[in-house]
Amino acid sequence: MFVFLKFLHVSAMFAATSLAVGPIVVYYLVARTGDAGALKTAMRFDEALERTAGGFYGLGILVGAAAALTGSLDLTAPWLLTAYALVVVLIVNNLYLSLRMRALRELAIAGNTPALAALSRARALTASIAALGLITLALVYTMVAKPTLF
């Protein structure tokens, strides 16, 4: 049962990550072109993708907890505590990105190209996009390598 639940956990997390990270990066890159029409088109299914990704993240967390319990894993192992912390940081970063992406979409709908260009080039947004990739990589590394950081 542990192996099956672990497979479901990994599958759900990969689905969630691809549905969350991929579109956000695309929206960011399209927004930086300043083409409001292209951004409106690109973001047509943003809310559905966001809800679906969130559902997969939730499923992945639940199935991961079930896998850990059926596999007799220590839920307080240092590598799992590190993963929990990274998930919290990822969620906070994703909430920020969700707000910024909604603001970009609203500017695109309004046709406010100067404001769209300014927001899409904001350092905080660029840093958050970079953090999204780095946090995701850190999570994958932590879950695979199970390092002892403390």
- Report the alpha-carbon distance of residue 53 to residue 39 in Å, rounded: 20
Residue 49 has pLDDT above 80, yes or no: yes
- Report the alpha-carbon distance of residue 12 to residue 16 in Å, rounded: 6
Tell me, what amino acid is at 35? D
Contact by Cβ (8 Å): 116, 39? yes
Q: Which pLDDT score, from 0 to 100, does residue 72 have?
A: 81
Kindly state the tokens that stand for 47.
């809310």
User: Which spans in the chain are helix H?
Assistant: 2-33, 36-42, 46-70, 78-110, 113-120, 123-145
Q: Which pLDDT score, from 0 to 100, does residue 150 have?
A: 64
Q: Model pTM?
A: 0.87
Whole-number Cα distances in Å, 26 to 104, 106, 114, 116, 150: 13, 17, 20, 15, 36
Residue 125 has pLDDT above 80, yes or no: yes
Kindly state the tokens that stand for 144.
């695979």
Read off the pLDDT of residues 54-111 as tens digits, 9 standing for 90 and up.
Answer: 999 999 999 999 998 998 888 899 999 999 999 999 989 999 999 999 999 999 999 9
Kindly state the tokens that stand for 142.
């932590």
Q: Which pLDDT score, from 0 to 100, does residue 3 have?
A: 93
> Can you give the residue ranges of every domain in the chain?
2-145
- Report the alpha-carbon distance of residue 70 to residue 20 in Å, rounded: 28
Q: What integer best gives the mean pLDDT of the chain?
A: 93
Q: Which pLDDT score, from 0 to 100, does residue 71 have?
A: 85
